[in-house]
Structure 1
């Protein structure tokens, strides 16, 4: 019995430690420039790595964030990401960024980044931003909403994994930059994932979950859900 309890305790310690350190893996060398396939790979840490002897300065360079994204879409916003998929030199370094452009009254709809906290800097315009906490331990309480109006020079932080949004409340364009604590933060846009998945979620499930009539779910699932990335 003592032996079993001891093994369980050791397992629990390692399990808790794995949760506490669940983030991008620590780098095992100075850098690991990603390559798109394994044929040219000599090391693995995150993505496959280019041979360090073949790495050049351009592997760490991305150009173009001075250019505005095309906001002519349903949302009136555009996100230009710079993560490991656009800049291979970010592999294993645990950071990435993005430029966000907003037309007047454009929105970056409620979404989450499952692998990263986001630090958001507004350069131009006026935005209404916010995030919602996870489900509270006390079922009598509700998810709490934190919101602010941002002006040029303001920084707002969206904690990792929490649903958040940005909305341009001004009559002019808005421009912002975001930094992420992951080389590939990922994005889950709530409406797109729930109503625009392929194949579609059973509408009976969603009708029950949202406590609405099935015809409302049918209508929502029939819409085109725009992707602003």
Structure 2
């Protein structure tokens, strides 16, 4: 009885090992689907697929929010595909802000490298959690919740973030409301903002209607 059980166990172990796939480097030549990118052929995978050098370069903060995000997601860093994580660099000039936004596909962890950043999020029961973060401080932002980062120091600020998905997704609240053709009267009705204020914000952010 022992010998047959041994062979059954050996077969199960061998089968499970045979089904293990070490990685699924993104094939960026193929379309992105619900499950992410298709896998590159192993014969065409190189060490460069597992290395990303862009996070050492400061982002361009000459814009309306005085901030820049440099992503290292699966589209930029193919080796992340299927691994359940990604990275980004956050540069904030003096007065810079990352407006209220969500990542529908991932939770986020942020660590401050330089400067002072006020960061926080709003829970689904509308409780607000925010904190002023100094160099070396870290904060997490649960998946799907509105959150923000503001440079609250006198100089530039730098942070690195990680996500629990190779493609966390992004929706910025201000852009969703004011950088499109969402009719002014509907924005006003659903936000309780004066129509004149809505039109002004649409003018600033490039929205119409």
Shared fold (TM-score, shorter chain, > 0.5): yes
TM range (shorter): 0.7 to 0.9
2:131 is aligned to 148
Question: Alignment RMSD, CA only?
Answer: 1.9
2:200 alignment partner, one of 190, 194, 219: 219
Q: What pairs up with 1:149-168 in 2 under 5 angstroms? A: 149-168=132-151
Q: What pairs up with 1:59-78 in 2 under 5 angstroms? A: 59-78=49-68
Instruction: Indicate if the aligned counterparts of 1:110 and 1:189 stay in contact, CA closer than 8 A.
Output: yes
Unaligned runs of 5+ in 2: 1-18
CA, structure 1 residues 212+224, in 2 after alignment: closer, same or farther (shift >3 Å)? closer
Task: Give the C-alpha shift of residue 53 in structure 1.
Answer: 1.8
- Cα deviation 1:89-148 (Å, max 9, x = unaligned): 1111110010101111111111111111001000110111110112x3xxxxxx111010
Does 1:191 pair with 2:174?
A: yes
Distance 1:129 1:75 in 2: 15
Distance 2:56 2:76 in 1: 16
Per residue, is there more helix in 1 or in 2?
2
Aligned residue pairs, count: 186
1:125 is aligned to 115
TM-score calculated relative to the size of structure 2: 0.84
Task: Give the C-alpha shift of residue 28 in structure 1.
Answer: 6.3
Instruction: Indicate if the aligned counterparts of 1:37 and 1:48 stay in contact, CA closer than 8 A.
Output: no
Q: What pairs up with 1:24-35 in 2 under 5 angstroms? A: 29-35=21-27
Moved over 6 A (4+): none
Asked which structure has the greater CA Rg, the reply is 2
CA, structure 1 residues 220+36, in 2 after alignment: closer, same or farther (shift >3 Å)? same
2:3 is aligned to none
TM-score calculated relative to the size of structure 1: 0.77
Look up the SS of the partner of 1:130 in the other structure: strand
Unaligned runs of 5+ in 1: 1-26, 137-142
Task: Give the C-alpha shift of residue 219 in structure 1.
Answer: 2.0
Distance 2:188 2:30 in 1: 45
Task: Give the C-alpha shift of residue 224 in structure 1.
Answer: 2.6
Does 1:106 pair with 2:96?
A: yes
Distance 1:34 1:151 in 2: 36
Instruction: Indicate if the aligned counterparts of 1:84 and 1:91 stay in contact, CA closer than 8 A.
Output: yes
**Which moved further from structure 2: 29-38 or 54-63?**
29-38
Instruction: Indicate if the aligned counterparts of 1:115 and 1:160 stay in contact, CA closer than 8 A.
Output: yes
CA, structure 1 residues 31+108, in 2 after alignment: closer, same or farther (shift >3 Å)? same
CA, structure 1 residues 212+173, in 2 after alignment: closer, same or farther (shift >3 Å)? closer
Distance 2:72 2:20 in 1: 22
Instruction: Indicate if the aligned counterparts of 1:28 and 1:45 stay in contact, CA closer than 8 A.
Output: no
